[in-house]
Structure 1
Amino acid sequence: MSDPLTQVVGLLRPSAAFSKLVVAGGAWAVRRSEAGRPFYCAVLDGSCRLSIAGQEPTTLESGDFVLVPAACDFATSSLEPPPVGVEAERAETSPGVFRLGSQDDPPDVRMLVGHCAFGSDDANLLVSLLPQLVHVRGEGRLTTLVELMNEESRGDRPGRDAVLGRLLEVLLIEALRSTMGSAPPPGLLRGLADDRIAVALRQMHARPTRAWTVVELAREAALSRSTFFERFRREVGVAPMRYLLDWRMALAKDLLRRERAGMGQVAEQVGYSSASTFSVAFARHVGMPPILYARGQRTG
């Protein structure tokens, strides 16, 4: 059966925006207010602090990896940050290498930092299925992947963008599945960590064309209808049929963007019996008919 996590990351269409090595010492802080750009960081040596609006500050140590799928208001700083409003000294000491804090202070942290972008216009929906913060300790493969991305981004070899895109997909999947042994918030990862709910999720992703009902999905999960419905909503955060509708529409958008298929073909591939039924559902969900959506994607 299809792997939901792989499919979601693939539909996000991640691309690497930039990656850099940061060396910092003394009292320093870098504050960002971004429009939801994904942020990741791998601490190579030392320690620092990550503060995200609405959450308790997190201490990052050597070997830690952090992913914030939609970072809007956050800061990285020394363990004892300077007062708010005080800007840290910043200098690019060599291409892609930045020094923060006073040059007279010995470095107390080295980290690889990067931002990426999601090309999907369904990114908000897909990101809502993921944790707000992924913090992984002691997974050397994540640091290795970030190092490979940093090295690739510094070069200008043929296929650079394709390699970065693939490395980023692997990085995201590796980071996200590393959290499944913990207690993630309601969403896809928490649903996949539940053996019964995971069966239903995999079935929906593997066979989105089937006319699924809650009763049939409950049977696949070996649960009663009421138990399945409540358990799915508790673990995934939405009702089963809502999840299925959102997933079908995400697939439909991807098909309309990538392929010059007729409405009947797209409708069939996402589980609708006719082009007209699909068109009505798509317009209600997206706010415009699929033919207009497709035209905008091809001319945008």
Structure 2
Amino acid sequence: MSDPLAEIIALLHPRAPFSKMVEAAGAWRVRRAEVGQVYYCLLLAGRVRLDVNGKPPVELSEGDFVLVPATQNFAVSSVDPVAPPGFESRPLVRPDGTVRVGPEDAPVTVRQLVGYCSFGSPDAGLLVSLLPDMAVVRGERRLCDLVRLVREEARAERPARDVVLEHLLQVLLIEALRSSTQTSGTPGLLRGLADDRLSGPLRALHAAPDRAWSAADLAREAGLSRSAFFTRFNRVVGMAPMEYLQSWRMTLAKHLLRSGRHGIAEVAARTGYGSASAFSLAFSRRVGQPPARYARGD
């Protein structure tokens, strides 16, 4: 059966990675507003406190990894000693590209590998909304190895570098999300896949988006009544079942149209529409332009 998480990560097209080694000492705090960026951090030594978008703070220790798929505002600060309220440090970028935070004459107590990347999908906002706001993985060696591979590849000038990086980033994101020991608890796909009643319907509709699904069909896949299924899906995934199906079909349609390898009739059939005209009408209403114009990139 289909793997919804792998499909969504692949469609996001992660790219343009940037990473830096950060060393810190004493009391310090760094704030950032990286709207639309994917933020990740591997703590190599010491302890830090992470505050993301006003959510409860998370403390990271050596070997911990955190991933934030859609960072808006966040702060990273020292734990011992604690930075005073309102205090902010000014990072110093050294000639070798490493970053120093805190007093220059104090011994280094924290080392972290910080990275950013972006998503190339035109539907990135929708797809990211299906992922948790934050994922924390404690002491997972595989993630440490992946982060180092991404950093090494990003800094090198090898043939096919961008292709290798995209695949490495896909693996990194999937591994972080499926290994997470702590998420924000927000509704989304990951919570749906972890739900013993909803994982079946989600995998089924991803495996056959061309099927004429109804809410009753999906409720039967879940072994629930229609009303119980509707309520549970809304609460766990964050949207109504048929809204999720429609959004996923349109996301697939955009991907197929942009590839330039499929005609409108074929895209309509592969996304569950009985005719090209019905698909064109639904696509135009949803996207704001006809599928032919979208395919041309007008």
Name the SS of the counterpart of 1:238 in structure 2.
coil
Counterpart for residue 284 of structure 1: 285
Q: Deviations for 1:18-56, whole angstroms, at most 9, x for unmatched residues?
A: 111111112222211122211000001111121122212
Q: 2:204 and 2:257 mapped to 1: Cα distance? A: 23
Code of the residue aligned with 1:84 in structure 2: it is: G
Q: C-alpha separation between the residues in 2 aligned to 1:33 and 1:231? A: 34
The answer to whether the 8 A contact 2:136-2:183 is kept is: no
1:234: which partner in 2?
Answer: 235
Greater CA drift, 218-227 or 2-11: 218-227
Amino acid corresponding to residue 81 of structure 1 in structure 2: A
Pairing 1:164-243 to 2, within 5 Å after superposition: 164-179=165-180, 184-243=185-244
- Corresponding position of 2:94: 92
Mapped to 2, the partners of 1:156 and 1:124 lie a distance apart of: 31
Give 1:115 shift: 0.4
Structure 1 residues 189 and 158: CA distance shift in structure 2, 3 A: same
Q: Distance in 2 between matches of 1:179 and 1:137?
A: 8
- Matched with 2:258 is 257
Contact 1:180/1:190 (8 A) holds in 2? no
| Structure 1 contact 49–77 (Cα < 8 Å) conserved | yes
Partner of 1:13: 13
Aligned residues: 296
Instruction: Report how far residue 269 of structure 1 moved.
Output: 1.1
Residues in 2 aligned to 1:110 and 1:66: alpha-carbon distance in whole angstroms: 14
AA paired with 1:91? V
Partner of 1:30: 30
SS of corresponding position for 2:197? helix
Query: Which residue of 1 is the match for residue 113 of structure 2?
Result: 112
Q: How far apart are residue 102 of structure 1 and its match?
A: 2.0
**Structure 2 length-normalised TM:** 0.94
Residue 152 of structure 2 is matched in structure 1 by 151
Task: Check 1:285–1:18 CA distance in 2 against 1; reply closer, same or farther (3 A cut).
Answer: same
* Aligned partners of 2:20 and 2:99 also within 8 Å: yes
Question: How has the CA–CA distance of structure 1 residues 26 and 93 changed in structure 2, closer, same or farther, with 3 Å as cutoff?
Answer: farther
Distance 2:125 2:63 in 1: 29
Match of 1:2 in 2: 2
Displacement of 1:198 in angstroms is: 0.4
Give distance in 2, aligned partners of 1:82 and 1:36: 29
Q: Identity, % of aligned pairs? A: 57
Q: Distance in 1 between matches of 2:91 and 2:282?
A: 54
Distance 1:125 1:213 in 2: 22
Aligned to 1:132: 133
Code of the aligned partner of 2:278: T
Output the CA distance in 1 between the equivalents of 2:225 and 2:251. 28
Structure 2 gaps of 5+ residues are none
Q: Give the aligned partner of residue 54 of structure 1.
A: 54
Q: CA deviation at 1:244?
A: 0.2
